[in-house]
Amino acid sequence: MPTRVAIDAMGGDHAPSVVIEGAVRVVKEHPGVIAPVLVGPEGVIAPLLAEHDPDGTLGISVQHAPDVIGMDESPAAAIKSKTGSSIHVGLGLCKAGHADAFVSAGNTGAVMGASLFLLGRVSGISRPAVIGYYPTLLGTCILVDVGANVDSKPEHLVQFAHMGRVYAERVLGVESARVALMNIGEEPGKGNELAKDTFKALSEASGLTFVGNIEGRDLLRHAADVVVCDGFVGNILLKFGESVASVLPKMIGAEMQRLGMTADEQMVVARALKGVRDRFDYEEYGGMPLLGVDGTVIIGHGGSSALAIKNMILSADAVVRNRVAASIAAAVNA
């Protein structure tokens, strides 16, 4: 059975055109795997979809949603006033069992708030969290949380650890995922009260392979498969990583010019640099899963391209097929 993915066609800086293109690319490149449902104003979406699929043979459907929540709108106000938005309607399809997952590159706060309101939490989870990806020398590690919870308690970070462990093992294929706590030192007594109390709680938690504290310099060395932190720290780390993809090539380009390297020499360096830069490119990772809600929700960058949308849809399919929400419930309630 194909995975039914409701897609916020109006979400993102370049919607709806890139969202529709991303859905079309998924169907063409992975036939029979996913059944996309584009959610938004039908009068806007249907003509654009027809440009890609004039005969209607791709199997992409449109669900009318008259309202749009803007990127700069107050999430709390929009959730209450725009119940006909593409975000509400898409999540409503999931709640009613007419879709298996929801994908949006729209207003992040609105997506998180509406997800909690319409889908609720997984049993045993107090605060859902968003994960982010970090490329390392040995592959990819994930950060939990990267912005959903600026202020957290030790019990929340333990829940983040369980959710991250489940995702790493079931979706990324990591065997016996190692969990670490981001801190300012490796010793157990380091850090603020949250870090100290969380270290103790993680050390005593069952079902986790806790390897202790790690420092920021250990992240790219792959000191752990899952790195736990509150959303304040996690968001700073995530945004710093995203900046590498755009800033590093400029810095190296300026240095090559200073050294007087020939065009051929610069081209060789540029090819090597592109491979490193691509590993920091958020578009390649398929968005950020909102773990802990009773369903599958993937949140994307507001500037997402068609490639990013395509990968977000594929990520949603992977989360659904690996039964991540059910596995999180089993882990935290064991």
169-213 tens-digit pLDDT = 999 999 999 999 999 999 988 999 999 999 999 999 999 999 999
* Cβ neighbours around 242 below 10 Å, total: 15
- C-alpha span between 105 and 9 (Å, rounded): 9
| 37 occurs within a structural domain | yes
| 134 occurs within a structural domain | yes
- pLDDT tens, 39-60? 999 999 999 999 999 998 999 9
Q: Are residues 105 and 214 in the same domain?
A: no
Burial (CB count within 10 angstroms: exposed 0-12, middle 13-18, buried 19+), residue 149: buried
| 334 occurs within a structural domain | no
| 91 occurs within a structural domain | yes
Q: What is the pLDDT of residue 114?
A: 94
Q: Which residue has the tokens 């997506």?
A: 111
Q: Are residues 153 and 235 in the same domain?
A: yes
The candidate with the shortest Cα–Cα distance to 166, out of 334, 331, 333, is: 331
Tokens, residue 124: 């045993």
β-sheet bridge partners, residue 293: 121
Tokens, residue 19: 């969202």
| 331 occurs within a structural domain | no
Instruction: Find the distance separating the first CA and the last CA of the chain, reported in whole Å.
Output: 30
Q: Are residues 118 and 258 in the same domain?
A: no
Residues in contact with 124: Cβ distance below 8 Å, sequence separation at least 6, in sequence order: 159, 329, 332, 333
Q: Are residues 81 and 142 in the same domain?
A: no
Give the pLDDT band of residue 139 (cuts 50, 70, 90). confident
- C-alpha span between 50 and 42 (Å, rounded): 12
Record the pTM. 0.92
Q: Are residues 297 and 268 in the same domain?
A: no
Q: Are residues 131 and 104 in the same domain?
A: no
Q: Are residues 131 and 97 in the same domain?
A: no
Q: Are residues 92 and 40 in the same domain?
A: yes
- C-alpha span between 74 and 60 (Å, rounded): 31
| Number of helical H runs and strand E runs in the chain | 11, 11
| 333 occurs within a structural domain | no
Relative to beta strand 209-214, strand 101-104 is unpaired
- CATH number of the domain to which 222 belongs: 3.40.718.10
DSSP tag of 121: B
| 259 occurs within a structural domain | yes
Q: Are residues 156 and 279 in the same domain?
A: yes
Note whether 104 and 287 are within 8 A (CB).
no
Q: How many domains does the chain have?
A: 2
Note whether 23 and 316 are within 8 A (CB).
no
- 66-75, 124-133, 266-275: which has the minimum mean pLDDT? 266-275
Coil, strand, or helix at residue 301?
A: coil
Q: Are residues 140 and 277 in the same domain?
A: yes
Give the HSE-up count for residue 220: Cα atoms under 13 Å, Cβ half-sphere: 9
* Cβ neighbours around 123 below 10 Å, total: 12
Q: Are residues 115 and 145 in the same domain?
A: no
Residues in contact with 248: Cβ distance below 8 Å, sequence separation at least 6, in sequence order: 273, 276, 277
DSSP tag of 317: H
| 329 occurs within a structural domain | no
Look up residue 83 and give its amino acid: T
Q: Are residues 135 and 107 in the same domain?
A: no
For residue 268, the enclosing domain spans 127-284
Residue 277 predicted with pLDDT over 80:
no
Give the pLDDT band of residue 126 (cuts 50, 70, 90). very high
- C-alpha span between 313 and 303 (Å, rounded): 16
DSSP tag of 184: S
